[in-house]
Structure 1
Amino acid sequence: MKRIVVLMKKSGLWFWSVSIIILLVCAVMCWQIWQHPEHIGLLPGSLKHKSWLISLCAGTGIMTACLLLMFFSTRASGKNHFTHDVKQALGDDAFAPVKLTRTETLWQAELLAIKTHLRRRYAFFWRCNVRLLLVTGDDTAIAQLVPGLKEKQWLEGNRTVLIYGGSLTAQPDSEKYAALRKLRRSRPLDGIVRVIGENQHLTPQITDHDLRGLEKIGEQLRYQPPVWLWQLCDSAWSQSGRLTQSVGITLPARAVPEDIVSQLSALLPQLRAQGLAQVAENRAYDFLLRLGQQLLQGGCERWKTRLSPWLYGARQRVPLRGLMFSLADPPSGHQDGAENHVHALTFPPAWQGILDDCTRVRGRRVGMAWAQMLAWSLMAVTGLWAAGLLLSFGLNYQQMSSVAKKARALVEHPAVSDAQLTALHELRNDAGRLQYRYQHGAPWYQRFGLDHNQALLRAMLPWYGVASNRLIRDPASAALRQKLNRLVDSAPDSERRAALAGPGYDQLKAWLMMSRPDRADGAFYARTMKTVQPTLRGVSPGLWQSLAPDLWAFYIHALPHNPQWKIIPDSTLVARSRQVLLRQIGQRNAESTLYQEMLNAVRRNVADVTLDDMTAGTDARRLFTTDEVVPGMFTRQAWEGGIQQAIDTAAHSRRDEIDWVLSDSRNAVSSDLSPEALKARLTQRYFTDFAGSWLNFLNSLRLTPANTIADVTDQLTLMSDVRQSPLIALMNTLAWQGQTGQQSEGLSDSIIKSAKDLIGRDDKPVIDQRAAGPQGPLDDTFGPLLQLLGKNRAGNVMSADDTLSLQTYLTRITRVRLRLQQVAGASDPQEMMQTLAQTVFQGKSVDLTDTRQYGSLMAASLGEEWSGFGNTLFVQPLTRAWETVLQPSAASLNDRWRRSLTANWHTAFDGRYPFADSKSDASLPMLAEFIRRDSGRIDRFLATELSGVLHKEGSQWVPDSAHSQGLAFSPAFLRAVNQLSQLSDILFTDGSQGIRFELQARPSPEVVETRLTIDGQHLHYFNQMADWQSFRWPGETFKPGTLLTWTSTRAGARLFGDYTGTWGLIRWLEQGQRRQLDRSQWMMSFTAPDERTLQWVLRSQLGKGPLALLDLRGFKLPDRIFNVDATAAAQAFDTNSDITDMDGAE
């Protein structure tokens, strides 16, 4: 309390006034709590009321006792000190020496004496009214300025205490300054006076010693007081009787050397005026004029130089406040021999400047003022707490009054109206605000020990419940009951019932919520009630639709904490509604929502998996690319890190969302909603989506294009490199991901299975379809792939071919790569490439062909759903190599075909009939030389050069689908050779060259007779019964040709045409019109010059017979077998000849 009073720095009267006011306030508060506790939110007679009353009364009593004790102790102490002083003044008692204990020092005793003296003279608050000055310097100078100070150590007078400080060059007395610091802790000294003797000057060395000594004193005191320099002057004449005054200057806190000059210069007029006045009075009074003359004659500049190290600009911690001048005269009031007042001092006017100035200026704290800071902090906290108490009291009182007023208004006026609904909503806002503050804490300005939010909430909720039940709950329950009655009263299987069943479920759920607080869902309830109760009688529709949703939601949210607000639904109506809804809904559908929530919760924690992630450490883009990703929630990390636990949690803690709505108890729930069934469905659904996501990603892989042998070789090298293969890295990832969810067979399961097999040995199947190894939900999808990787080796289980494995495939890839490197590194790559391709064309098996077949078999073993993935990884790389090998060779084969066959064909048949409209006939034996079966030039070429990629099915040449991949046969070539093959079958039916056919003449109007001669074979017809006549072409005659004459009823025999040569028959047939009667007969019609029609029916033994030769008209043998891009074929050989053989990748 003493420290707080000292820091307050007020008089005793102020202190007692404030104390009495505080005491009265506390007394009023005690009376208020005693008589009217409800005004501050306290219930009369409650435990809290009694606690507050007892606490405040006890505090007020303690404060009253302390103030009385302080008052009487102060009076007693003052009385004793007064009596002691009176006795000393009368001389009755001798001056009692101070007794020192063992723990006290001399300066502690001196300071105790000073403290006692000042307290007796200036009462309890002497620290606020007394100035403490430390006088330092040489003892001679101090004695000239303040005689007797060294002997007495301290002198007091005019509310000022001068304390002897001694020389600044000596080491400061730590005990002295420690005791002095305790005398007045807040401000140990008001200033330090440094006395400079008459013959002394402030040299740099003296200045440095003084500053260091003052700094040490400040460190001892932990306070650096302002410093005044006092220069003692001398005079040749006696100055006794001269009127003295304070002479000197004061410097600002951050003074600069120019301030010294300006201050001293400003002092000169005053010195001059007062000095002249004193000299006029007595010529010996020259102190002021002499001082002014010294300053005017360079003294200002000298003092500027001397005081510069003392200024703030020199970074000194000692604050220099001023410079004083005086003569070395002793104080007039000091009596050196007085015994009654040994420490009394009367200050001369020369001290008035320092005495006035030291009350206006303060020093600065050295170090941290912990005590002062603590006291001020305590004062600040106390003040803030008191203000907070008043503010909290006012706000809580206003809040409680407002809530009570609204609650009474709602209960006292029960009529339904807009004002009632508005008041209820305002009270709901108050309740919501109180709930929020109860859960999250009240605002800072409502706390300070007067927070009544929880009590106010408990007090208002019953009042709110009465009004809410009347305005909100009961109308809502009636509206829901009405809707459900309409549902159950509707006709079964009617459109009306189907329409009402949709919202009927939500209505039943909302109605049951009002009776089951544990199922409360405010958002759902408010959303449902918007459609059920859009209006309320007595309330305007706009206001109802604006405020009702919030009131509904608050009611349902508060229902779990206020179960007395619930309703008791009609059990009969509930049962009938459930029956109707169960028939209409048929199944529960909350499983999809649960599944999506589970995925959404994991999606935020697992990143999507890209191709680079699956092939980490390899350059996958050189081999295959894709823009697709696998969602992170469908990975093994997601399954093991969250999905599996989420499914287990859902299976054991949640049933279908509509169980409690449509069933009376859990026993009524069907078995498909059991935790085990729910877990199985969620797991199956997850792994179905899991497999689909991976299949979608893997089937989207595309092989990176490679156009040259070097590119293909690089791809095959990278693919088969054990350390850098993206394919191996991808397969390792797939093997790890494909085993997600696998469970190994336990020991007990294995024992039970063995026992069953032993007992039922006779019934044991040849192939056990139960997997013997780990079983997983992804076996149906990833099983074939794991089989290829050797990760699913279950004994006695039907599986893919054991010879199919990734390791074997990579070994074969290495062989193909080495073969291609041999081709690229050969001296003539093109020749070696053609030799390699020739073995393929000729049907000889090579590594490339076998590896292609092996890759195709691996892709097929994966199944149809892996078709895109298998084709990209196992088929396309070899197909690309196949194409690289075959395409250049195909171009070479085209050239050989052109040289060996097409050129001779053009030479033999170009411009000749029937290939062209010409009188020159083609050589039929030469045609047979080309098209004869097996032995003809075309068949021999195809059988010799293309037997590996082209084979004959009947009379049709068909590309080999297995070995011709990558080769584009020319459609014109295939049509041409197949046309010639069919013609060869017709022309060489019996092995010899020739066609056998039959002709039958038909009667024609006004035609009497026709004669047809074909290579010496005659057909004479004169309208008798038609008969078939056999012919052979070419006939055995030395003069081949065809001759036709006819005789009409109006003229004799006339010549229709005479076609000489071997091709005469074909020329004659070309003149007629053909109409097919069946598969072997054609009606041939010829128009005579007289417009009469001559008709024969031609019947062939095979195909179209001689008519097939008509198709040779305009026929040209194609120059190409394959459609080959010449640029691509040339680019395939555009490779560096010094390709390094990468045997290390093998």
Structure 2
Amino acid sequence: MSLKGQVWRPSGATLFTLVSGVLSAGVVWLLGKHYGLSPAQMGLVWLGVQALLTAVMAGYRLYQQREPKSDDDRQAKTAREKVSTPAYITEMRDYLKHHYGLTWRSKVRFVVICGSPNQTDLAVPGLTEAGWLEANNVVAVWGGSLLPGADSARIAVLRKLKRCAVSAIVLVYDGELRQAMQGDLIVRQLNERYKKLGWRVPLYLWEVQKSAWSQEGRETQPVGCLLAPHTTPPELVETLKSLPDTLIEPGVQQGLGSHTHDFLLRLGWQLRNGMAERFHALAVSLLTGPYAVPLRGVMFSPAVYPKDGTDRQRWLPDNSWNAILNDLPSLRIQRAGMAWERTLYQAVLVALGLTCAGVLFSWNTNRQEITDAQQLAVTARDEHQNADKRLAALGELQREMARLQYRSQHGVPWYSRFGQSQNDDLLARLWPEYARSALPLLRDASAARLRDALTAWNALPADSDPRAKLSRDAYNWLKAWLMLNRPEKIDANFFTSTVMALWPRRDGVAPGVWQYEGPRQLAFLAQNLPSHPAWKIASDPQLVATTRSALLRLIGQRNAESALYQKMLVQVSRNYADMRLTDMTGDTDASRLFPTDDVVPGMFTRQAWDDAVQPAIDKVVSERRDEIDWVLSDNRHPVMQDISPEALKARLTERYFTDYASAWLDFLNSIRWQKAATLSDAIDQLTLMADVRQSPLVALMNTLNTQGRAGQQQEALTDSLVK
């Protein structure tokens, strides 16, 4: 992050309000859609949630700032206040506010000078005594030593001045100390201060060169090198090795002016003779490893002499400071670690960026859908276009509407949301456009085809074979036509297949196009007709009544009662064996009393009635009821009584039981008593007949009782056969 033109940065409370507002708005919008809330209701809910969250945050902060309850708490609070706001910080704040105004935080940069008091005063005279010095928009603050046990609170307290308080740290040392410095120790101390600051600020190494001769009066200039980010130790060494080449010319000029001014030449000689290589060990500790520090530059200078005419807090930087001071505006400072504020800030920015991108993409997607749908609607209703193009455009419009219907039921894609979805509104606007095109092209044309077909069928002679052969088709045509008049009865598959079978080719449309588009468009119209009852066609009572009467007469002729009855008996007779006398008398010997060779047909037994005949009659009646459904009858004009399903069932049942009784009567009439040849045989016959357990007559009467109860609604056969 560049420090150039520093401006206000959001506080934790501001970030909390922003993030909670965005998140709560998203949650309220999603749940509001689910529960059907209006935009105004969702806005009120969002305001209520925000007010609640703000109250919770305010209550938490008040709780943290509550008055201490004990003397120990009061003493600890007083101690914290004394430590948290030292006198020199208050003095510095007042001084800067007086010189730079209320916006001094955006105008002033702070540079922390670390090192022993003696070494620090050689780089910035008077700094250790004053504590801080101010130059043009720069404040130099003494940060103490980096030795273990040194007070690092002098740096941490600067956070009370501004959010990113420090722009750079300058470590001042001399050549002897450099040789004794432990790089790992310096890195640990710097990272400790970074942690307290909350920022990883750039580091400058400032080496004070000692000389046996006084350098007072020498023309000063910045000497050293600035490093690029991610510089490696070998690159630092090579940079220092190249530095003497730039020092020769000004060093010779200064030496010619005064032989005591040997700083530049002596520094160049030292760098050429091993001093540059000796920086390698220190650079390895500073620039490599997980705790590497952002080393920005290495500077050299002799002892800086104080300048006269300055007040206590005023700093007149030596020319040797120009490189660092000019480099401050271009520095990029990183947060130390993963600070929650920075992470939250970046997360909010990413969320806002994604939201904005989603809104723009959603807007473009919905705009394109609306434009395409409008163009399809215009083409479909343009009567100057040929039928092929209109039908193709109507097909595209229908597919677009089917897609919108699916999304309306199952939800629009995520990329069409973001508050820009126009799915339902677009679908509502397209229905009238679809009706203008589809009703003339599909509904009216289909109704005309069906009406013409029914009229032609009614015109056929009543007893002609073509009329009889087309009766099933006429029924389907009438049913499809009535579906257009009664949308609640429509069956999309039946309607589509019936119309396409009647209308395989369409004038002005290529056969392939109509065979492909026709079924799809007719099915879509039929599926949506119930939800748009205004699309139904006008009724034609005369056509419907004429067709119904003709079809009912044909049904009565085609399904004559005798034919239905005989067909039913043939089907049943194949599955049931005839019943003989031996089957009726069980284990008894009936041949000694009343033998007979006649049988009762298997279809006239109680088992046949229960298992086959009664279900067969019900099936025939159901088929008649299906034929005479809402298509051929209505509540106002019931069908004729003689062909009604109920009358057919009654007649078939009555006819069956008439034949049932006749079959059993014929069988019983065929039974003849076996005459006894002798008195002994007659006595045996009477004995056998009188034995309840062995009597064939008792067994026969039991069988007749069982078989006679077939059909509970009928009179038992035993009542009519056995007197």
TM-score (norm 2): 0.60
Match of 2:168 in 1: 191
Q: Which of these residues, 142, 149, 160, is aligned with residue 127 of structure 2?
A: 149
1:467 corresponds to 2:437: yes
Q: Paired residue for 2:502?
A: 532
1:370 matched residue in structure 2: 340
Indicate yes or no: 2:209 matched with 1:239: no
Compute the displacement of 1:279 (Å).
Answer: 0.3
Corresponding residue SS for 1:451: coil
Contact 2:6 2:107 in 1 (8 A): no
User: How far apart are residue 585 of structure 1 and its match?
Assistant: 9.6
Partner of 1:108: 85
Distance 1:477 1:123, change over 3 A: farther
Could you give the per-residue CA deviations for residues 875-912 of structure 1, whole angstroms, max 9, x where no partner exists? xxxxxxxxxxxxxxxxxxxxxxxxxxxxxxxxxxxxxx
Paired letter, 1:226: P
2-side partners of 1:115 and 1:526: how far apart?
Answer: 86
Partner of 1:944: none
How big is each residue's C-alpha offset from its partner over 1:849-897, in whole Å with a ceiling of 9 and x where there is no partner? xxxxxxxxxxxxxxxxxxxxxxxxxxxxxxxxxxxxxxxxxxxxxxxxx
Is 1:572–2:550 an aligned residue pair? no
Equivalent residues of 1:141, 1:198 under 8 A apart: no
Asked if the contact 2:191/2:291 (under 8 Å) is kept, the reply is no
Aligned to 1:683: none
Residue by residue, what CA displacement relative to the aligned partner does 1:5-36 show, whole Å, maximum 9, x if unpaired?
Answer: x99976889xxxxxxxxxxxxxxxxxxxxxxx
Please say if residues 530 and 549 of structure 1, whose CA atoms lie closer than 8 Å, have aligned partners that are also in contact.
yes
Is 1:319 the counterpart of 2:297? The answer is: no
Give 1:161-560 correspondences, 5 Å limit. 161-171=139-149, 177-181=155-159, 183-185=161-163, 187-197=164-174, 199-203=176-180, 206-312=182-288, 314-330=289-305, 332=307, 335=310, 338=311, 342-382=312-352, 385-386=355-356, 389=359, 396=366, 400=370, 417-418=387-388, 420-444=390-414, 446-487=416-457, 496-497=466-467, 499-501=469-471, 503-504=473-474, 506-537=476-507, 543-560=513-530
Distance 1:153 1:548, change over 3 A: farther
Higher relative contact order (CA 8 A, sep 6+): 2
Deviations 1:139-177 (A, max 9, x none): 221122223323333323233222221122245767655
**Given the superposition, is the C-alpha separation of residues 576 and 306 from structure 1 closer, same or farther in structure 2, using an over 3 Å criterion?**
same
One-letter code of the match for 1:108?
T
The residue that corresponds to 1:134 in the other structure is 112
Report the structure, 1 or 2, having the larger helix content.
2
CA spacing shift, 1:349–1:555, aligned 2, 3 Å: same
Per the TM alignment, residue 512 of structure 1 is displaced from its structure 2 partner at its CA by 3.9
Give the equivalent residue in structure 1 for 2:138: 160
Checking the alignment, whether the CA contact within 8 Å between 2:486 and 2:536 is kept in structure 1 is: yes
Q: In the TM superposition, what is the alpha-carbon distance from 1:298 to its structure 2 partner?
A: 2.0
Residue 48 of structure 2: aligned partner: none
* Structure 1 contact 136–193 (Cα < 8 Å) conserved: yes
Change (3 A) 1:502 1:344: farther
Q: Is the 8 A contact 2:381 2:390 kept in 1?
A: no
- Which amino acid in 1 is paired with 2:552? Q
Q: Once the 2 structures are TM-superposed, how far is the Cα of residue 267 of structure 1 from its aligned partner?
A: 0.6
- Give the match's secondary structure for 1:201: helix
Deviation at 1:137, TM superposition (A): 1.7
What's the secondary structure of 2:470's corresponding residue?
Answer: helix
SS class of match (2:256): helix
Q: In 2 relative to 1, CA 399–254 (structure 1 residues): closer, same or farther, beyond 3 Å?
A: closer
Q: What letter corresponds to residue 138 of structure 1 in structure 2?
A: S
Shift of 1:251: 3.8
- The residue type equivalent to 1:136 in the other structure is C
Cα 1:530–1:578 shift into 2, 3 Å: same
SS in structure 1 opposite 2:529?
Answer: helix
Deviation of residue 286 (structure 1)? 0.6
Q: Structure 2 CA distance, aligned partners of 1:351 and 1:326?
A: 9
* Superimposed CA distance per residue, residues 1047-1103 of structure 1 (whole angstroms, 9 cap, x where no aligned partner): xxxxxxxxxxxxxxxxxxxxxxxxxxxxxxxxxxxxxxxxxxxxxxxxxxxxxxxxx
Residues 3 and 331 of structure 2 are in contact (CA less than 8 Å); yes or no, is this contact kept in structure 1? no
Question: Which amino acid in structure 1 is aligned with residue 495 of structure 2?
Answer: Y
Q: In structure 2, do the counterparts of structure 1 residues 578 and 499 end up closer, same or farther at CA, with 3 Å as the change threshold?
A: closer
Contact 2:144 2:152 in 1 (8 A): no
Structure 1: which amino acid aligns with 2:128?
A: K
Distance 1:393 1:8, change over 3 A: farther
User: Cα distance, 1:583 vs. partner?
Assistant: 6.5
What is the CA deviation profile of residues 224-272 of structure 1, one whole-angstrom value per residue up to 9, with x for unaligned ones?
2222221111111111111111112334444433223311210111222
Report what 1:650 is aligned to: none
Deviations 1:371-405 (A, max 9, x none): 23433443454455456556655665665566567
Kept in 2: contact 1:424–1:467 (CA 8 A): yes
Amino acid paired to 1:548: G
The answer to whether the 8 A contact 2:471-2:551 is kept is no
CA drift of 1:122 comes to 5.3
- Aligned CA-pair RMSD: 4.7
Evaluate the alpha carbon distance shift between residue 581 and residue 508 of structure 1 in structure 2; reply closer, same or farther with a 3 A threshold: farther
Q: 1:302 to 1:102 in 2, by over 3 A?
A: closer
Q: Which deviations, in whole Å up to 9, do the C-alpha atoms of 1:403-426 show, x marking residues without a partner?
A: 567657766859985555455445
Cα pair 1:108 1:176 within 8 Å, conserved: no
CA distance in 2, matches of 1:549, 1:437: 23
Equivalent residues of 2:167, 2:202 under 8 A apart: yes
Change (3 A) 1:214 1:583: farther
Q: TM-score, normalised by structure 1?
A: 0.40
Q: Distance in 2 between matches of 1:580 and 1:321?
A: 107
The residue aligned with 2:64 is: none
Indicate the percent of aligned positions where both proteins have the same amino acid: 33
2: CA distance, partners of 1:11 / 1:318: 23
1:140 is matched by which residue type in structure 2? N
Give the whole-Å Cα distance in 2 for the aligned partners of 1:286 and 1:451: 78
Cα 1:386/1:329, change in 2 over 3 Å? same
Flag structure 2 segments of 5+ consecutive residues without an equivalent.
9-36, 45-76, 561-624, 650-697, 707-723
List aligned pairs for 1:755-774, cutoff 5 A. Answer: none
Residue 136 of structure 1, CA deviation = 1.4
Change (3 A) 1:475 1:264: same
Q: How does 1:816-831 map to 2 (within 5 A)?
A: none
Matching residue's letter, 1:351: W
Task: Note if contact 2:335-2:342 (Cα within 8 Å) is conserved in structure 1.
Answer: no
Q: 1:979-1037: per-residue Cα shift (whole Å, max 9, x none)? A: xxxxxxxxxxxxxxxxxxxxxxxxxxxxxxxxxxxxxxxxxxxxxxxxxxxxxxxxxxx
Once the 2 structures are TM-superposed, how far is the Cα of residue 134 of structure 1 from its aligned partner? 1.9
Map 1:839-878 → 2, pairs under 5 A: none
Asked if 1 retains the 8 angstrom alpha-carbon contact of 2:229 and 2:294, the reply is: yes
Shift in alpha-carbon separation, 1:403–1:253, aligned structure 2, 3 A: closer
Contact 1:141 1:195 in 2 (8 A): yes
Aligned pairs, how many?
520
Aligned partners of 2:3 and 2:212: how far apart in 1? 52
